[in-house]
């Protein structure tokens, strides 16, 4: 199928390796080449490594895709401004990159977005529009928000520019650990997992790629069970960076050949957040720790496993409760 130059919505399979490699060159100097470190747990069910995307300038992997998308948007972005919809991490990343390039930026955020993320968005100079989660999800599904018709929309995950940028993390994993058996990735909309899986499987087809969802919102798992893209009843939780209402049909067409779904509980995610701080002194948000939860419970199998710690933007009040041993 013909590739689409802007958002790539016409590509229904893996992201071409060439586009990921080009993105890697394009975002040098903007996104960090994050370290891969061993999880300090001798009793773990596998040899577990952590890809620390929480160390990116805005605290999440989204800097990779946003930097690539802004670069490819070109003069139109500077002339018209950009906007996106996000629970927080994409909003921060796009706002940060837009400020670097002196581009006006607006973000559509759910009205229950964590204050930590809202403060960061304001700090990066973006305009915030807060609406209900359902309204945000409508923008996710339609790729459109009528009041901002004059601006360039950059989808938070279903955009080939985003996925190619995200996929650069997978190429770095292979450079640091060429014989990796499995990569475990949080699944929200699929932009990170599809991007990483595309690059990883292109270079090392035998590597398994797992996509992890919380038990309260697992549309990918439901889609695999049904054999088609599904919408589910989502229950909000402290894990705000992943767990959507549905798998978009265009993302399902990519994900179904690349990913293996896994589901973890909220208590398992909270335990993983606590473990990361106690053993590695690493702060992860719920989404970022979901991959570690899957690996530590044995759901991701054995061998050499890389967990993508996708972000570290967690409210201090929630983190305090988790460290005290409870689930927010």
Q: In this model, does residue 3 exceed pLDDT 50?
A: no
pLDDT at position 7 is 52
Rounded CA gap, 27 and 71, in Å?
Answer: 8
Give SS3 for 297. Answer: coil
pTM of the predicted model, to two decimals?
0.93
pLDDT cut 90: percent of the chain above it: 86
Q: Name the band, by pLDDT with cuts 50, 70 and 90, for residue 244.
A: confident
Which residues have a Cβ under 8 Å from the Cβ of 327 and sit 6 or more positions away?
238, 266, 267, 270, 321
Domain ranges of the chain: 17-60+160-323, 63-153
pLDDT at position 11 is 58
Parallel, antiparallel or unpaired: strands 82-85 and 47-52: unpaired
Residues 8-27 have pLDDT tens digits of 445 578 999 999 999 999 99
pLDDT at position 133 is 87
Q: Which CATH number fits domain 63-153: 3.30.930.10, 1.10.10.10, 3.40.50.1100, 2.10.70.10?
A: 3.40.50.1100
pLDDT at position 194 is 98
pLDDT at position 2 is 29
Q: Which two tokens stand for residue 158?
A: 């279903």
Residues 57-103 have pLDDT tens digits of 999 999 999 999 999 998 888 899 999 998 689 999 999 999 999 99
Check: CB of residue 150 under 8 Å from CB of residue 176. no
Give the side-chain half-sphere CA count within 13 A for 7.
16
What is 17-60+160-323's CATH topology? Rossmann fold (3.40.50)
What is the SS3 string spanning 83-105?
EEECCCHHHHHHHHHHHHCCCCE
pLDDT at position 5 is 37
Cβ neighbours of 174 (radius 10 Å): 18
């Amino acid at each position: 199928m013909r590739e689409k130059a802007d958002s790539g919505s016409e590509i229904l399979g893996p992201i071409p390796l060439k586009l990921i490699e080009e993105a890697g060159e394009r975002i040098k100097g903007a996104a960090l080449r994050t370290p891969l470190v061993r999880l300090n747990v001798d009793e773990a069910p596998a040899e577990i490594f952590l890809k620390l995307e929480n160390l990116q300038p805005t605290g999440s992997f989204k800097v990779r895709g946003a930097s690539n998308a802004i670069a490819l948007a070109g003069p139109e972005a500077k002339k018209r401004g950009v906007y996106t919809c996000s629970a927080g991490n994409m909003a921060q990343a796009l706002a940060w990159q837009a400020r670097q390039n002196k581009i006006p930026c607006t973000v559509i955020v759910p009205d229950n977005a964590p204050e930590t993320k809202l403060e960061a968005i304001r700090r990066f100079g973006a305009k915030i529009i807060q609406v209900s989660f359902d309204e945000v999800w409508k923008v996710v599904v339609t790729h459109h928000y009528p009041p901002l018709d004059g601006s360039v929309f950059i989808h938070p995950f279903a955009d080939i520019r985003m996925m190619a940028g995200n996929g650069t993390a997978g190429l770095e994993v292979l450079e640091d650990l060429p014989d990796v058996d499995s990569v475990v990735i949080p699944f929200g909309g699929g932009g990170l997992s599809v991007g990483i899986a595309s690059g990883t499987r292109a270079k090392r087809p035998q590597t398994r790629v797992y996509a992890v969802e919380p038990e309260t919102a697992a549309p990918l798992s439901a889609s695999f069970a049904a054999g088609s893209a599904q919408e589910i009843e989502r229950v909000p939780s402290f894990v705000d960076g992943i767990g959507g209402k549905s798998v978009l049909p265009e993302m399902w067409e990519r994900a179904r050949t690349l990913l293996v779904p896994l589901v973890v509980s909220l208590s398992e995610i909270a335990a993983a957040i606590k473990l990361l701080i106690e053993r590695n002194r690493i702060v992860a948000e719920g989404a970022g720790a979901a991959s570690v939860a899957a690996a530590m419970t044995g759901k991701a199998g054995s061998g050499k496993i890389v967990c993508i710690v996708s972000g570290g933007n967690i409210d201090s009040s929630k983190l305090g409760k988790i460290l005290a041993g409870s689930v927010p």
